[in-house]
Each structure stands twice: as C-alpha cells, then as structure tokens.
Amino acid sequence: MYSGIFPQTRLRRVRTSSFIRDLVQENNVSVKDLVYPIFVIEGHGIENELPWLPGQYQYSQDKVLNIIQECVKYGIRAIALFPKIDSSKLNNMATESYNPSGLIPNVIKLIKKNFPDLGIFSDVALDPYTDSGMDGIIDESGYVVNDETNHILSKQALCHAESGADFVCPSDMMDGRIMLIRKELEQNNFHNTGILSYVVKFNSSLYAPFRYAVGSGFVIGKRDKKTFQINPGNINEILHEAFLDIQEGADILMVKPGMMYLDVLYRIKSEFKKPTASYNVSGEYCFLKTSNWLNYNEAILETMLCFKRAGADFIWSYSALDVAKILYQDKLSS
C-alpha cells in the first residue's frame, strides 16, 4: 500500500494550502452528527445554571422550549432528556419513573407538539427516581436486583414511547433489559420506537457532575455502581455485552464515556458495524469547558472530529450547542 521514499514522497505536499487540506480530509463533523442533552426540572420559572456543569441548565417546562428553539436555530436535529425529580417523589420502587403525567412524559409531549421534527432520545434508568440514587431497586444489602428492576424499566420505556419519544435509551446495565423493553414496545404496537442501548457503560468517575444535575449525587452516599457497570479495564466483556444487546434488539449502540474510551468505540464499530454513538459525558465536558489553558472552541471541534474518526456515527455532547454555533459561524464566514 505505501510506496515511495523521499523526495518522491513528501507527505507535506497535501498539507500545503487550505483547499488541499480540506479536499483530502477523511472525516468531518457536521451539526447533523450532534445530539444535545438537556436537563429538565419540576416546577415553574426555573432556569438553573448548574455549578457542576457551567453553561448547562436545568429547565422547567415553561422554559424548556426557549433552549429547544435555540438548538433548532443552529441546526441541531435531536436532543436527549434527563430529569431532576422532586425529592419527595423518590422511593426504592422508582414509581415516578413510569407516571404517564410525570415530568419526562409531559416534556416529551410539549416538545413534540411544538417541534414535531426534532428527534427525542429519552433516558431509561431509575437513578433520578430512586431514594438510593442507584439505577434500580435495591434489596436489604444494597444490591440492585436485576429482574424486578427490568420490570420497572420496561414500564418506563413504554411510558416514554406513549408520550412520543423516538428512541428509548436504557442506561442502567441490567441483564436482559433490552429484550424485555423490545417485547413491551412490540406488544403495545410501538414497532418503530427504537432502542439506543448504552451497551458499553463503564463504571467511570467522569459521571460525577451529571449525578448532581439529576439529583442522584445528593442521595447516593458511599454506594457505587460496580455490580452493574463495567470495569474500565475490560474489553472482551464489552464485546460480549454488545453482542447480547444486539441479539435482544438494540438498534443503536452507545459507548460511554467518550474521550478516554475511543479504543472501545473503534472496536465496537468495527466488530458489529451497527449504528454507533459516543457519549461525551459530563466530566469530559467540564475539563474542557473550565480549563484556562486551552482554547475551548478548538478543543471541542477536535474532540468531535476524533469521535468521528474512531467510528462514531453521532455524538451526544453538552458541547453540542457550542459546536453547532461554531459551525454556523464558520459557514457564514466562508
């Protein structure tokens, strides 16, 4: 494949000017590759900037359409929704998670009514709804019980589908949940509601700011998620997880976190060749957004490009709106 030695070959020839660099560029980022995660909160008149995620907010229902409008203006085609539930509604059985008139179902309906073409990914997991801050029902010893949790997750997924979610996104890592959710959706005629599965969800320190944004960080205490999320040292286990989720009916695979796990993204895309997304998680957003030592705009564009190069078809990122604005400005000025 490689031929020629110096000076016949000077690789810098195709780096000499802007037009040729652009012509030979192998991967690109477009606003069409981006999904913007949005936090919603119960109550009225709330637009809370999150101290743990500077530049990101919790929006009450009456405020959320403003940010959606801005996303649409800059070309973003899809969002992901995460709730902050009032602490009085949290309990071990996460009963609020499948309340058809709860926060997320109402917000989905509101957005779909006003922006019918905007894609909605809704998170399916119990951590914003449990008083333990864990992603499932816990027994007396604190262990997250798998099958009972799956039962609640499938009710939650159905409730989101009924409200109009395009994709439900199980982020809990219980065994067998994709199969149960798919069955529940099919039985209720939601044949085209997709499942984006967090097939690869590592037990990562990088989720800390997110946990405060959905509230679980305040109640989780010393509990950890090692009995269900994956050890960051493992790769074979990941391939096994992904294989099972595909068998069970996952339409899209999500690798999470993003930046430190590009090898995993590459492996998942090349082994399975399924639609694959990467989640540029809260901790990663924070370290680029809050660093005084680098140019944030350059750093996030580079980050998005690297996700694409590693095999992501699309990217969830708290920087999505910032990136969309940069790409919009670039277009205006070119």
Catalogue the active-site residues.
Answer: 201, 256
The SS3 call for residue 180 is: helix
Q: Which stretch binds ligand PBG (CB under 6 A): 89-97, 205-213, 268-276, 297-305?
A: 205-213
Query: To the nearest whole angstrom, how small is the minimum distance from the Cβ of residue 281 to ligand PBG?
Result: 4
Query: To the nearest whole angstrom, how small is the minimum distance from the Cβ of residue 143 to ligand PBG?
Result: 17
Q: How far apart are CA 276 and CA 128, in angstroms?
A: 25
Query: To the nearest whole angstrom, how small is the minimum distance from the Cβ of residue 158 to ligand PBG?
Result: 18
Q: With respect to ligand PBG, which residue has the nearer C-beta, 62 or 224? A: 224
Which of positions 238-297 make contact with ligand PBG (CB under 6 A)?
A: 281-282
Q: Which stretch binds ligand PBG (CB under 6 A): 69-77, 110-118, 121-129, 157-165?
A: 121-129
Q: With respect to ligand PBG, which residue has the nearer C-beta, 9 or 291? A: 291
Q: With respect to ligand PBG, which residue has the nearer C-beta, 126 or 158? A: 126
Q: How far apart are CA 83 and CA 183, in angstroms?
A: 25
Residues 245 and 178 sit within 8 Å (Cβ to Cβ)? yes
Which of positions 209-228 make contact with ligand PBG (CB under 6 A)?
A: 210-211, 225
| Tokens 């030592």 sit on residue | 293
Q: How far apart are CA 178 and CA 195, in angstroms?
A: 8
Q: How far apart are CA 162 and CA 105, in angstroms?
A: 8
From the list 59, 207, 307, 314, which residue makes contact with ligand PBG (rule: CB under 6 A)? 207
Strand partners, 200: 255
Strand partners, 37: 80
Residues 288 and 319 sit within 8 Å (Cβ to Cβ)? yes
Q: How far apart are CA 95 and CA 79, in angstroms?
A: 25
Q: With respect to ligand PBG, which residue has the nearer C-beta, 84 or 211? A: 211
Nearest to 36 by CA among 93, 115, 94: 115
From the list 96, 123, 241, 322, which residue makes contact with ligand PBG (rule: CB under 6 A)? 123
Check binding of 322 to ligand PBG (CB under 6 A): no
Check binding of 303 to ligand PBG (CB under 6 A): no
Q: With respect to ligand PBG, which residue has the nearer C-beta, 31 or 230? A: 230
Which of positions 131-160 make contact with ligand PBG (CB under 6 A)?
A: 135
Q: Is the dihedral of CA 203, 204, 205, 208 positive or negative?
A: negative
Separate counts of helices (H) and strands (E) for the chain: 12, 10
Check binding of 84 to ligand PBG (CB under 6 A): no
Binding site for ligand PBG (CB under 6 A): 123, 125, 127, 135, 171-172, 207, 210-211, 225, 281-282
